[in-house]
Amino acid sequence: MSYERFHVTFVAVVATLVDSIVVAELAGYWLHRLLHSDKFRALSRGDLIIKALCVLPRRTTISRH
C-alpha cells in the first residue's frame, strides 16, 4: 500500500515539474515574440539594445595593417 502511494505521489510531482517547465517555456516564447512585434515600442527597443550589447562584438575583428 505504501509503495503504491509513493509511486502515485512521485508521478504527480514529476508531472507537475514537467508541466511547469513547459508552461514557462511557452510563456517565454510568446513574450519574446511580443518583444519583436513592435506592439510595445519601449519593450521592443529595449530588447534590441540588449541584444546589440550582448551579441555584437565590441571591437572590429578585422585588423587594419
At residue 61, the pLDDT reads 62
Alpha carbon separation from 49 to 6, 11, 46, 55 (Å, rounded): 50, 43, 5, 10
Q: Where are the domains of the chain?
A: 2-55
Pairwise CA distance, residues 44 & 8, whole Å: 45
At residue 60, the pLDDT reads 63
Pairwise CA distance, residues 8 & 11, whole Å: 5
Query: Please, how many CA atoms are within 13 Å of residue 60, restricted to the half-sphere of its CB?
Result: 4
Question: 14: how many CB neighbours lie within 10 A of its CB?
Answer: 10
At residue 8, the pLDDT reads 85
| pLDDT digits (tens), the chain, 65 positions | 576 777 889 999 999 999 999 999 999 999 888 877 877 777 677 777 777 777 776 666 666 65
At residue 14, the pLDDT reads 95
